[in-house]
Amino acid sequence: MKKTASRIAEGQPFPLGATWNGHGVNFALFSAHATKVELCIFDSSGRREIERIVLPEYTDEVWHVFVYDLRPGAIYGYRVHGPYEPEAGHRFNPHKLLLDPYAKAHVGALRWHPAVFGYTLKHEARDLSFDTRDSAPYVPRCRVVDQTFSWHHPLRERVARERMIVYETHVRGYTIRHPEVPPEQRGTFAGLAHPAVVDGIRHLGVTSVELMPVHMFLNDSHLLERGLTNYWGYNTIGFFAPDPRYSVGAHASIDEFKLMVDRFHESGLEVLLDVVYNHTAEGSELGPTLSFRGIDNASYYRLLPDTPRYHINDTGTGNTLNLSHPRVLQMVTDSLRYWVVEMGVDGFRFDLATILGREPEGFDEGGGFLDSCRQDPILSSVKLIAEPWDCGPGGYQVGGFPPGWAEWNDCFRDTVRTWWKGDEGKAPDLATRLCASGDRFNRRGRRPWASVNFVTAHDGFTLHDLVSYNDRHNEANGEDNRDGHADNHSWNCGAEGPTDDPEIRALRERQKRNLLATLLLAQGTPMIVAGDEFGRTQQGNNNAYCQDNAISWIDWEGIDDAGRELAAFVRRLTILRHALPVLRRNRFLTGEHNDLLDVTDVTWLSPAGIALTPEQWGDVNMRCFGMLIDGRSQTSGIMRLASDATMLIVFNAYHDVVEFTLPSVPGNDQWSCLIDTNVPVRDELPEFEAGDTYQVTGRSLLLFALHARGATQRVFERLEENLTAGPEEI
């Protein structure tokens, strides 16, 4: 192995990472406290180190060198020298081979071995000493890449935020059992790009596919010891590198990811990434030294001010990324821009996003990261969705993010679940959630789309399990069923788990339709979890983060008639949402009267068809009411035919039939029933007169559209015609 190199130049401190320019590769690595940095270059197998180069220049806390004749495909890592002073927050150890935080591709996998730790553990956790074992045989490396790619659809039309329907899925779990995907492509980006998969997603009527983490992540040692893996991937170690486990070719993950994005864009679908910038896979101060810890622990992580030996753990995973440091903030924003500009994605969902808004004094909506996103010409133009909570003090921030952000709304989730479960006193709260939770989001010019409504997510019960289990059943996780949420606001409809009882099965199917219809007819941005549209089950497991098996995978060939009927029902709901702007307004419904148009945007009705009184709102036993949305109240400029549709949604969580009187609206007298969750399939749209009563089945939802007597049903007939169209054509 060479100790020096005569083919080097000082290089540049920018851009950070490894950058090929056609003549060689520039390497640049930030470290504020290192005393020396060595670049280790390996042979094509990645096993044998063939050259070690001391980075000769240090500019603005960036170490850098240019290596001539080095090309894409070169495999490398770093060894960083500096003080090993845990009590001061410094954990440098040149015996540990480190990953470049800006690496665009990784090679190999981590093998858990004592040598990957920067310390030697003797008898007690506090009895630690500097470890001199070489970690190179056990850790992954980085690979220099060439970003050349021929996009077929480099320019795409972004989906308007108010038109979004998000579809959350997992790269591997979605296609690993898909019968139309070639076996070698299943579970990969190439599998997601298969025409049968793309067409199926598009036909469902969603607009934006949100992929669970695809950044390079690690499997926790405690999971591997139990024969499990980190299936979800919320354990990132490389913020620029797609995980090679999701690619067919050993070194093709970048091109395969881009091809997938290209195919989705060709079909009018957006690609969103679920990203984890709140922590890294290095864990607490007792975790391994793989990258950030060995490069500059005191800069990359938040440490306890009085005892910097220890990490602040606002994430619950052992460490918290320090976005108050300008170089760490730069790394995160550089990563986001890279995925937008180079990889073509359309937006991000941020795991534990409150962390990203934290400064030393706590969450601050004017914090460095949030301000950076608002002013950045690239990041401010894409979809930014926050999971607005973390484990730290003041961590719950639903509605607390600044303009431009959308947020997961767990208030919607819990209220909708408890309403359809039959809990008392939920009607007023449900009314608020149906109007995009204006109590939390209607401020500073934010729009209804800021509320990302969901009933289920990857974390928790699937929709089928939500109506089939009262309790979690996580025994397969190996934690004695102690993990996962204990209170899920679920109801098994009379039997725990699978049952042959036809009445319970019918009720469960209706409850699924109720929950999905509430989600897709409410104001705000709906999010559906892949598989919920046909009743996927996880056998009662509400924390399947470690289940890379049939518990988590979608069983395409196992979809039964009930599942196909449910998927058709979801398709009808998405068609309605796309075709009727009144269901996806860009202004909050407030119940205020518009004097100019002489209409009220939303009116809440009792089963008698008249406005609810304060006394009725205060009745904790009220379980049936109507939501009348007057489409004329949103008219502005040139009005399209469907823009002024007036809709009535009836929510009946009572266990028995309720007679509901259809209201009279001035100038109109005829209603068409578009949806009845008790009758999911109809050959024609039944019509009713104002003043007629409708027998609303117990635990069911209805959607009516108002139109003038004698008017054609062209608008509503077109809904049926659109069953073969994509959302962008409606």
351 catalytic per annotation: yes
* Residue 720 in this model has a pLDDT that exceeds 90: no
List Cα–Cα distances, 364 to 322, 521, 558, in angstroms. Answer: 14, 33, 47
**pLDDT band, residue 599 (cuts 50/70/90):** confident
**Cα gap 692→27, rounded to integer Å:** 75
Average pLDDT over residues 109-121: 94
Q: pLDDT tens for residues 247-288?
A: 998 788 999 999 999 999 999 999 999 999 999 999 999 999
What does the pLDDT read at residue 125?
Answer: 52
List Cα–Cα distances, 145 to 17, 216, 273, 724, in angstroms. Answer: 11, 15, 21, 41
In sequence order, the 6+-apart residues with CB closer than 8 A to the CB of 546 are 223, 226, 228, 229, 230, 231, 477
Average pLDDT over residues 640-653: 78
What does the pLDDT read at residue 721?
Answer: 57
* SS3 assignment, position 345: coil
**Cα gap 582→633, rounded to integer Å:** 9
Both tokens assigned to 474: 């996580």
**pLDDT band, residue 461 (cuts 50/70/90):** very high
Mean pLDDT estimate for the chain:
93
Closest CA to 301 of 289, 276, 316, 284: 284
- Pick among 3.40.47.10, 2.40.420.20, 1.10.260.40, 3.20.20.80: CATH of 167-270+332-352+374-581: 3.20.20.80
Q: Which of 364-373, 528-537, 705-714 has the highest mean pLDDT?
A: 528-537
**pLDDT band, residue 730 (cuts 50/70/90):** very low
Q: Which residue has the higher pLDDT, 60 or 3?
A: 60
What does the pLDDT read at residue 127?
Answer: 58
In sequence order, the 6+-apart residues with CB closer than 8 A to the CB of 191 are 171, 174, 175, 176, 178, 181, 185, 197
Q: pLDDT tens for residues 89-109?
A: 999 999 999 999 999 999 999
The CA dihedral of 528, 532, 533, 535, to the nearest 10 degrees, is -170
Residue corresponding to tokens 């056609």: 22
**Cα gap 647→550, rounded to integer Å:** 41
Q: pLDDT tens for residues 462-521?
A: 999 999 999 999 999 999 999 999 999 999 999 999 999 999 999 999 999 999 999 999
480 catalytic per annotation: no
* Residue 726 in this model has a pLDDT that exceeds 70: no
Stretch among 124-128, 395-399, 493-497 having the lowest mean pLDDT = 124-128
Partner residues linked to 129 by β-bridges? 120
Stretch among 144-153, 428-437, 507-516 having the lowest mean pLDDT = 144-153
Q: pLDDT tens for residues 26-37?
A: 999 999 999 999
What does the pLDDT read at residue 718?
Answer: 55
Q: How many other C-beta atoms can be found within 10 angstroms of the C-beta atom of residue 557?
A: 7
**Cα gap 310→288, rounded to integer Å:** 14
The answer to whether the beta carbons of residues 10 and 66 sit under 8 Å apart is yes
The yes-or-no answer to whether 8-143 and 586-729 have a common fold is yes
Q: Which of 210, 255, 296, 387 is catalytic?
A: 387
Q: Which of 351, 509, 532, 644 is catalytic?
A: 351
pTM exceeds cut of 0.75: yes
* Residue 723 in this model has a pLDDT that exceeds 60: no
In sequence order, the 6+-apart residues with CB closer than 8 A to the CB of 329 are 323, 368, 369, 372
Stretch among 334-348, 352-366, 461-475 having the lowest mean pLDDT = 352-366
Both tokens assigned to 409: 């709304």
Average pLDDT over residues 620-649: 75
The answer to whether the beta carbons of residues 231 and 552 sit under 8 Å apart is yes
**pLDDT band, residue 644 (cuts 50/70/90):** low
**Cα gap 147→342, rounded to integer Å:** 8
**Cα gap 209→201, rounded to integer Å:** 8
The answer to whether the beta carbons of residues 672 and 686 sit under 8 Å apart is yes
Q: Where are the beta strands (DSSP E) in 361-481?
A: 362-363, 383-386, 406-409, 451-454
What does the pLDDT read at residue 660?
Answer: 98
**pLDDT band, residue 550 (cuts 50/70/90):** very high
What's the CATH code, domain 8-143? Answer: 2.60.40.10
* SS3 assignment, position 403: coil
**Cα gap 346→381, rounded to integer Å:** 9
Q: What is the biggest distance separating any 2 CA atoms in the chain, rounded to whole angstroms?
A: 91
Backbone φ and ψ of 346, nearest 5°: -110, -5
What does the pLDDT read at residue 2?
Answer: 52
CATH 2.60.40.1180 fits 586-729, yes or no: yes
> Where exactly are the structural domains of the chain?
8-143, 167-270+332-352+374-581, 586-729
List Cα–Cα distances, 418 to 55, 422, 525, in angstroms. Answer: 60, 6, 20
Backbone φ and ψ of 668, nearest 5°: -140, 150
What does the pLDDT read at residue 641?
Answer: 39
Stretch among 237-246, 629-638, 661-670, 718-727 having the lowest mean pLDDT = 718-727
The answer to whether the beta carbons of residues 170 and 458 sit under 8 Å apart is yes
Both tokens assigned to 155: 């320019």
**Cα gap 674→685, rounded to integer Å:** 6
Both tokens assigned to 666: 């001035």
**Cα gap 347→209, rounded to integer Å:** 10
* Residue 296 in this model has a pLDDT that exceeds 70: yes
**Cα gap 450→587, rounded to integer Å:** 11
In sequence order, the 6+-apart residues with CB closer than 8 A to the CB of 496 are 468, 469, 470, 471
In sequence order, the 6+-apart residues with CB closer than 8 A to the CB of 354 are 363, 386, 388, 389, 390, 392, 395, 396, 397
* Element at 716 (helix H, strand E): helix 714-721
* SS3 assignment, position 704: strand
* Residue 303 in this model has a pLDDT that exceeds 70: yes
Q: How many other C-beta atoms can be found within 10 angstroms of the C-beta atom of residue 161?
A: 18
**Cα gap 367→375, rounded to integer Å:** 12
